[in-house]
Structure 1
C-alpha cells in the first residue's frame, strides 16, 4: 500500500515520462478496475465497454488484481493483445484503495474512472463528460439521486448503506460510498499513506472538502451474478474506523480492545462501589455519582497513556483534563436519566439497573474520548467538517437527553392543564386552539396517562422542527449551515424546552418551521406545489396557536417588496393555500360561534395586556436574553445587520429579504406591543426561527468580519457547552436530585405528584371524619386543580374544581364547571401560597362564601426518606354558600 502511494506521488510530481507516445494523446480517460476472483465477469464487462459509442483508443482499461485464484489474470491477458487493456498483479494484502492507486500510477490520462463489474458500463460516457469538458473535478455514479438506484442487492449491502448514511453527513454528496466514480488524476496525490479500506471516494472528497467541483450522475447498480464481493464485516469495520479518523476521532486498530480492557476495570470499580454505597443506605443519586467519579479517576490516566494517542508536547495538560471532566459530567448526567428510567419507570432494582446504565456510559465515554478528549493530531479535518461532527454529536446528545428524561420529569402545571383539555375534548378551547389537546390525546391513548404519554407529542414536534429547519437552511445556504442550524435549535433554551415540554409552543414551533420552509420553496424557489404544503402547515400552525397568523402579513409584505414574487398575486395558488388553511381552522371558528367568540375576545384582550398600561420594552429585551442566551441574541442581531453578508447576487438579496421580513414582521409586532403592554416572555420564541439559518451561516464563516463578530463566533463553543450542561444538570436535579442542593426554588410549580399524595391523605381524613365526599378547590386560575387532577391516581378519584367556583377566572374551568350550587359537602381549599385561601385579586373575602371555614394549614411535602421538597397550603370548610351568599 505504501509503495503504490509513494510511487503515485512521485509520478505525479516528476511528470509522466511514459506519456510521450502518440497513443497517450488519444487516451482521454483511464478506467481502473480492481478485481478479486472476477473471471466470469471479465469477458462480459469488456465486451460492453468496447461496444460503447466512443472513439477508438479514447480510453484505456487497467485491471488491478488482488490475488485472484479463479483465473482472472488469464482472462485479462487474453484481451491485452486485442484491446487497450493492461493488467497489474498485486501480491500484498487485498485493499481497494491500494489497488486504485496502483492503477492511477500506471494510467496514461488525466481523467481516472474507478468501477467494478457490478457497475453499468453504459453510464461511462455520462460519468466522464463533466470532467472532460472541464466543468467538474469529481463525478460520482450515484444511487441516491433521481434516476439512480439499486437492483436486487444482497442483504450484506445494508452494511454499505449504513456506512453511506454515516459518511453522507461529512460531505455534500449523497452517495459517498459509491465505487463508480471519476476524478482528475492530480487528486490522487491528496490521499495520505493512511488511506485504506474501501471508501476511496470518501477519502478524495474529504481531502478536498469545499474545494472540489463535484457532480452526481444517476446510476442503477445491479447485483453481482459472479465473482467475490469485497464487502464483508471486517472490511466494513475497517471503513468505519477510517471514517471516524476522517471525522477527527482518534481510533487506532488497537485502541478499541484497549478501551474495552480499561473500561472493564472501570466497570468493576463502578458497580462494586455503587452496590456498596446502596447497601449502606446512600441515595440513588449519591451512589451513582460517587461510583462514577471513582471509576473515572482510574480510567482517565490509563486511557490518556495507553488507549488513545497522548497529547503532543506542549499541549496544556489542564486543558486536556478539562475536556475529560466536561465529557465526564455530560456522561454522568445522562446516566442519571437512564438509572431513573430503569428504577422509577421500569421498577428495576438499582443493583441491576446499574449494569445497563454503565453500558450506556461506556458508549458515550468512548465517543466523547475519541472525538473530544483525544482528537486526532495529524491530518486534522477542515473546520467545516469539525462543525459537522460537533453538530451531529451535540444534537444526538440533546435528543437522547430529552428522550430519556421525557417520562421521568414530572409535569409542570401548564402541561397538566393541557392534559385536562384532552379529558374534555372539544373543537377548540377558551384560551388556546385544540392542537395541543389532540397531540396529548393521541400520546396518552398509546402510552397511557403518563408523563411520557403527555410529552411524546412535544418530542416528535421537536424532531419535525429540526427536519424542516435543516431543509430551510440547506436551501438558503448549504448543507453545513443546515447542520449548524439544527445545532442551534438543539441548544438554545426556548427550542430545547419546546422539544420536551408539552405546551402549545411545541406544535407551534414545528408548524412555524414548516411554514417557513414551504414559503421559501414557493417564493424563492418558485415551486407551485409548495403552496399546498404552505396551506397545510399554516393551517396546522393556527390550530396550535394564533401567533402563527403573523406569518401571513409577512408573506404579503415579501411579495410586495420582491419583484420576482409579485406574480403570485395574479396566480390562484396563494389564495387556494389561504382557503385550505382557513378550512383547517374551521373547528376553532365553529367553537367560537357557539361560545360567543369567547376565545377570540380573550386573545384580543390578552394581546392588549389587560387594562394597565406599562412600558415593557426592557422586559422584552431581558426575555430575549433568556430565550436565546446573550450570545444568541447578539448573533441574531448580526444576522440582520446590513453589512453582514457581502454577496450582491440576486439570489443573495432575495434571501436576505426573506430572512428579514419573516423575522422582522412578527418581532416588530411584539416590540410595538411591548412599548405599552407587558408580554409573555416566550411569545417571541418562534419568530427567531427565520434567523437561525443566517446565524448558523455566520458560525461557519472565516472571512474578514468585525471584532464583535469574531468574538461572538468564538463564544458559541462555551455557550453550547454551558447550555447542554445546564439542561442535563436541571433534568438530573429534578428527577434524581443533586446531593447537597435543596429544592427550595421549586416550591410552587413542581413536585405535584408528592403534593397530591398529601392532599389525598387530607381528603381521606375528611371523608372518614364526616362520612361525606369533600370537594377539592384549587385556588389558582388552573394550575392547582389541573395538577391535582393529573396526579390523583393512588386512591379514590377526588372531586376537583378551580377558583372560578368563587367567581374568579378559571379559564377552561369556567366552561367545564360553570357553576357550583350551594352544598353542605366539606370543601378543601388548596393553594400554592397561603393568602390564596383568603382572597384573590377579584375576591377580597373568600370566607364569606364558606360554611365554618377553618384556619389555613401548611403541609410540608418530602421524599420517602425525609428530604424536603415543597410546601402546600389547605383550608377546610363545612360547606359552600354559593357565589352570592
Structure 2
C-alpha cells in the first residue's frame, strides 16, 4: 500500500527525467510504497514520451496540462490526482536530491509535523554550481518573505506536506513558489520543520526562471501580506503622483513667494495635492479596491497616511533648507519624492487593502508591525539630528567634555557614548544622539529575541511595534540620556536571564554578566533585575539548582569587574555618587506619591497599555500541566512585578521620578503583545478593550511625528509658547552671546555667565556656544546652591570684579534663594531683572531672563 505521492512538474526536461526516475526507484523503498505523478505543462522536447515509457513498467503516471504553463497550477493538478495523504514536490532538473526523500517524508508519516521543507539555508544545507546572481536572488526572495513566513527557505521547490492542506490554497494562487502559498494559507494551524539539503544547479536543459517569475513572486507576496501593490497600481499611482507633485510644487512656490512661511506653505500645498491624489487614486489607481463612492472611513485612513507622510517630509524639508541650505523652492521636490513611498505603501496596505482574499489576523498584525516600526525608525533618522538638544542631553554632553571613570549623579556609560559619537560625527546634535539611536536598535534586537523565545515570531514582531509606539520606548531611542543605554542593557539582561533561568543554557550566564555590568554603568537601577533574579530562583525549583553551580557567581564577578570604573571613582570621591542615589531613594521628607506613581505608568504605557499590563500580571492563568507556559509566566511576573513592587513601596514616602519605571515594562511587553491577537483566552470585557490598540497605535505615532515637526519646523496656527522654558537654546545662546558682547564692550572685562538652575541653563548655553565665542559659563553653585557635577568642574569662585550675567528660564529663577544668604547680597551692584524675546526665523518663541552685576563678592 503506497504511503506517499511524488509530484514532479515538467516543462522540456527530456534530458533529466530518465535519470531522476532511475535515482528515485534505486532508493531503498518498497516498490509499492510510493507513486510518481509527472505533470507536464506542454513540453516540446519528448519529455512526455519518456514518461509514458516509464508508466508502462512502474507506478508512474503522466498528466498533460493544456492550459498556459504555471508551476503552481501544475502541482495542484498533481495533488488532486494523488492517491495518498502525504505529498512530495520536487523538480525534474536533478537539483533536488532524491536520496533525501526518506528524511523528507518521515516526520509526516510519524505524525510529528505537517510540512517538511528541504532547506538550503539552515545548518547543513548548501548550494552547488549556482551563479552568484541566482544565489543572491534566492537569498533576497527568502529574506523578504521572512517577516510573514516562518521558514528559512520559503522559495524551496523540494518539500512534503499533508494533502488536505492544499484545499486551503487560494484559487488566485499562481507563479512558481507554491510552498509560500501553502504555508501562508495554513499559517498558525500547522507544524513545520526544515531538513538540510544540498541544492545542485541543473547540468542539462535551461532554467524556466525569468524576470516575470520574480515579479510575480513579489506581487504574490504583497498580496498574501494584505496589500494591493501591483505593477499596474504602481504605474497608475505614479501618474497620479506626478500630477500631485506639480500641484504640490505650484501651490508651495506660490505661498513661499507671498512669504507664507516654510511650514504653512508645505502644509497647504500638501493637503491640496493630497485631496486631488485621493480622488484619482480611488477612482483610477486603486479602482479595483474602491467601492465606487466616497467612504469616509477610507478617506480618513487616507488622511492619516497623508498626515504622517506630511510630518515626515517636514523633517526632510527642514534638513535640506536649514542644514544643506538648499533654497526652499528646490528643496520641496526631493522632500515630496522621499515621502512618496510612505503614501504609496500606506495606500496599498491601509487605505485600499486586499479584501478579496484578506490575510489572517496574525499576518495583518505582522504587516502593520513592519510598516510602523520602519516608519518610527525613519522618523528618528530624519529628525534626531535636527531637533535641538534638551537641557538634560546638553548636561550629559558636558560629562563627555570632562571624561572620567564615573560621575556624581550617574554612571559613565552615557558620557562614553556621547564622547564616541561626537568624536566621529562632530559637535552637533547628530553626534550627541547617535548613541541613543544605536542603543534603540540594540534594545529592539534583544527584545525581539526575548519575545520569540517566550512566545513566537508573530508576538516578537508585535512586541517591537509596542516598543516603538509606546512613550517609554520611542523617547529612549531618540534622546541621549542614561535611559538609552539602560534600555539596551535591560533588554539584553532579560534575554540572557531567560536563556539561563528558563532555557538552562550555560553560556547565557556569560552574556548576562556582560549585560548586567554594562547596565550598571548606565544606571544603578538595573540592580532591580538582580533582585528579580534572586526572587525567581527562590520561587522556581528548577532554577534553584543554579545556586549550587558556579555559573551565577562567575556572572556576578564579571558584572562587578565591568562595573569597577564606577566603584573606583566612588572610592576616590568618598562614595559620594552611591550616597547621592541613596538619598534620592531614601528622602528625608515624607511625601505620599502613589497616585503620581500610577499616573506616570499610565503615561509611559498609555491607558490601554496600563490596563493590559494589569491584566497580564494578575489575570492570565497559564496551564499548570504545561511546565514551560507556567515558568514563562512566572518569569514575566517576577521580572516585572519585583521591580515594580520596589518602586511602589518607595512611592509611599517619596515622589518618584517620571521615567523610573520605564525599563521595567520591557519584561511584560511580549505578554501584552501576545494578548493583542490571542483574545480567546481573555475575558469578554477585555476583548473589547483590546480593540483600542489600533487607535492607540495611530494616535501615538502621529503624536511623535507631530511633536518632532513642531519643534523643528513648527505647526501652522500653534504658537511656540508650550516650549518657553526648555527649548530653543540655540537661539537663546545667540542672544546671550549678544548680551555678553554688550557687557564686554561697556566694561572691557570678560563677563561670567551664570545659569540660574542646577545644571540645565549652563549646560544648554555651553553646548550652543561651544566652538564659537568661548564664554565663561557657570552654574548656580557659584552662589552656594546645588550644581550636581558643576560642583566638581567649577567647585568655587573667588570674589571677582568681572561682570556677572545671571540667566534664567523664568524671572523667579533670578529671585530665588538657595542658601542662608540672599544671592543679591553676593553681587556687586546687581542690576534690574530684564528679559529679551527670542525669535526663530522671525517668529517669537520664548523669553530669556537675565540680570547684570558689576562683580561677585563671594559666598558669605
TM-score by length of 1: 0.93
**1:629 aligned onto 2:606:** yes
Does residue 10 of structure 2 align to residue 35 of structure 1? yes
List aligned pairs for 1:44-193, cutoff 5 A: 44-68=19-43, 72-73=47-48, 76=51, 79-81=54-56, 83-116=58-91, 117-154=94-131, 155-193=133-171
How is 1:663-702 mapped onto 2 (pairs within 5 angstroms)?
Answer: 663-702=640-679
Q: Which moved more, 1:367-376 or 1:89-98?
A: 89-98
The question of whether the paired residues in 2 share the 8 Å contact of 1:409 and 1:735 is answered with: yes
Q: Aligned equivalents of 2:569 and 2:220: distance in 1?
A: 60
CA distance in 1, matches of 2:820, 2:50: 99
Q: Which residue of 1 aligns with 2:479?
A: 501
| Secondary structure in structure 2 of the residue aligned to 1:432 | coil
Match of 1:288 in 2: 266
Q: After superposition, where does 1:325-724 map in structure 2 within 5 Å? A: 325-609=303-587, 611-645=588-622, 648-703=625-680, 705-724=682-701
**1: distance between equivalents of 2:204 and 2:758?**
75
Q: Which residue of 1 aligns with 2:844?
A: 868
Deviations 1:386-437 (A, max 9, x none): 1111111111111111111110111000001111111111111111001111
List per-residue Cα deviations over 1:538-572 (Å, max 9, x = no partner). Answer: 11110100000011111111111101111100000
Whether 1:780 aligns to 2:747 is no
Structure 2 residue matching 1:254: 3-state secondary structure = helix
How far residue 526 of structure 1 moved from its aligned partner, in angstroms, is 0.7
Q: Which residue of 686, 689, 705 maps to 1:728?
A: 705
Mapped partners of 1:174, 1:228: distance in 2: 26
Q: Cα distance 1:551–1:778, how it changes in 2: closer, same or farther (>3 A)?
A: same
C-alpha distance in 1 between matches for 2:750 and 2:390? 27
- Between stretches 130-139 and 569-578, larger displacement belongs to 130-139
In terms of mean alpha carbon deviation, does 397-406 or 152-161 score higher? 152-161
What residue in structure 2 maps to residue 21 of structure 1?
none
Instruction: Give 2:855's aligned residue.
Output: 879
Change (3 A) 1:726 1:188: same
The equivalent residue for 2:277 is: 299
Judge which range, 230-239 or 365-374, deviates more. Answer: 230-239
Q: Secondary structure at the match of 2:5?
A: strand
Moved more, 567-576 or 125-134: 125-134
Question: Residue deviations 1:12-67, cap 9 Å, x none?
Answer: xxxxxxxxxxxxx3x32222233345444434433433332222243333333445
1-structure distance, mates of 2:317, 2:68: 46
Quote how far apart the aligned CAs of 1:284 are.
1.3
Q: CA deviation at 1:271?
A: 1.6
Contact 1:250 1:309 in 2 (8 A): no
CA contact (8 A) 2:85 2:162 kept: yes
CA 1:497–1:535: 2 relative to 1, 3 Å: same
Give the whole-Å Cα distance in 1 for the aligned partners of 2:513 and 2:629. Answer: 26
Distance 1:227 1:280 in 2: 68
| CA separation of 1:159 and 1:848: change in aligned 2, threshold 3 A | same
In structure 2, relative to structure 1, the CA distance for the partners of 1:878 and 1:223 (3 Å cut) is farther
Partner of 1:207: 185
Report 1:738-817 matches (<5 A).
738-793=715-770, 795-817=772-794
| Displacement of 1:295 | 0.8
Range moving further from structure 2, 175-184 or 403-412: 175-184
1:478/1:248 Cα in 2 relative to 1: closer, same or farther (>3 Å)? Answer: same
Q: How far did 1:81 drift?
A: 4.8
CA distance in 2, matches of 1:276, 1:70: 67
**Secondary structure of the residue that 1:861 maps to in structure 2?**
strand
Aligned residues, how many?
857
Q: Secondary structure at the match of 1:60?
A: strand
Q: Secondary structure at the match of 1:145?
A: coil
Aligned with 2:222 (options 244, 249, 257) = 244
Shift of 1:835: 2.5
- Please say which of residues 131-140 and 50-59 is displaced more in the overlay: 50-59
Provide the rounded CA distance (Å) in 2 between the counterparts of 1:336 and 1:823.
Answer: 48
What is the deviation of 1:829? 1.3
| Distance in 2 (alpha carbons) for counterparts of 1:712 and 1:144 | 42
Task: Report whether the alignment pairs 1:857 with 2:834.
Answer: yes
Aligned partners of 1:410 and 1:750 also within 8 Å: yes
Is the 8 Å Cα contact of residues 838 and 844 (structure 1) preserved in structure 2?
no
Alignment check: 8 A CA contact 1:36 1:227 kept: no
Aligned with 2:691: secondary structure? Answer: helix
- Maintained 8 Å contact 2:290/2:352: no
What 5-or-longer segments of structure 1 have no aligned partner? 1-24
Residues 446 and 453 of structure 1 are in contact (CA less than 8 Å); yes or no, is this contact kept in structure 2? Answer: yes
**1:333: Cα distance to partner?**
0.9
Distance 1:134 1:613 in 2: 65
Taking the aligned partners of 1:62 and 1:253, their CA distance within structure 2 comes to 35
Per the alignment, do residues 69 and 346 of structure 1 end up closer, same or farther by CA in structure 2, a change over 3 Å counting? Answer: farther
SS of residue paired to 2:522: coil
Instruction: Measure, in 2, the Cα distance between the counterparts of 1:357 and 1:616.
Output: 47
Distance 1:672 1:447, change over 3 A: same
Deviation of 1:613 after TM superposition, in Å, equals: 0.9
Deviations 1:734-777 (CA, angstroms, capped at 9, x unpaired): 11100110011101110001101101111122222222222211
* Range 172-181 or range 804-813, more displaced: 172-181
Is the alpha carbon distance of 1:222 and 1:421 closer, same or farther for their aligned partners in structure 2, counting shifts above 3 Å? farther
Q: 1:877 to 1:569 in 2, by over 3 A?
A: same
CA contact (8 A) 1:36 1:65 kept: yes
Normalising to structure 2: TM-score of the pair? 0.96
- Asked whether the equivalents of residues 517 and 560 of structure 2 are also in contact (C-alpha less than 8 Å), the reply is yes
Deviation at 1:166, TM superposition (A): 2.2
- Answer whether contact 1:558 1:658 (CA < 8 A) is retained: yes
Q: Deviations over 1:176-222 (max 9, x none)?
A: 22221111222222222210112211111111121112222222323
Which shifted more, 790-799 or 544-553? 790-799
List per-residue Cα deviations over 1:294-313 (Å, max 9, x = no partner).
11111112111222145676
Q: Please say which of residues 346-355 and 869-878 is displaced more in the overlay.
A: 346-355
1:77 offset after TM fit, Å? 5.1
Provide the rounded CA distance (Å) in 1 between the counterparts of 2:390 and 2:447. 28
Going from structure 1 to structure 2, the CA distance change for 1:152 and 1:796 (only over 3 Å counts) comes to farther
Would the aligned equivalents of 2:827 and 2:853 in 1 still touch at CA under 8 Å? yes
Assess if the C-alpha contact under 8 Å between 2:803 and 2:855 holds in 1.
Answer: yes
Q: Is the CA contact (8 Å cut-off) linking 1:309 and 1:374 kept in structure 2?
A: no
Q: Compared with structure 1, are the counterparts of its residues 852 and 374 closer, same or farther at alpha carbon in structure 2 (3 Å cutoff)?
A: same
Contact 1:76/1:87, CA 8 A, preserved across alignment: yes
Distance 1:146 1:441, change over 3 A: same
Instruction: Give 1:15's aligned residue.
Output: none
- Give the secondary-structure state (helix, strand or coil) at the position aligned to 2:8: strand
Q: Deviations for 1:499-543, whole angstroms, at most 9, x for unmatched residues?
A: 111100011111111111111111111111111111111111101
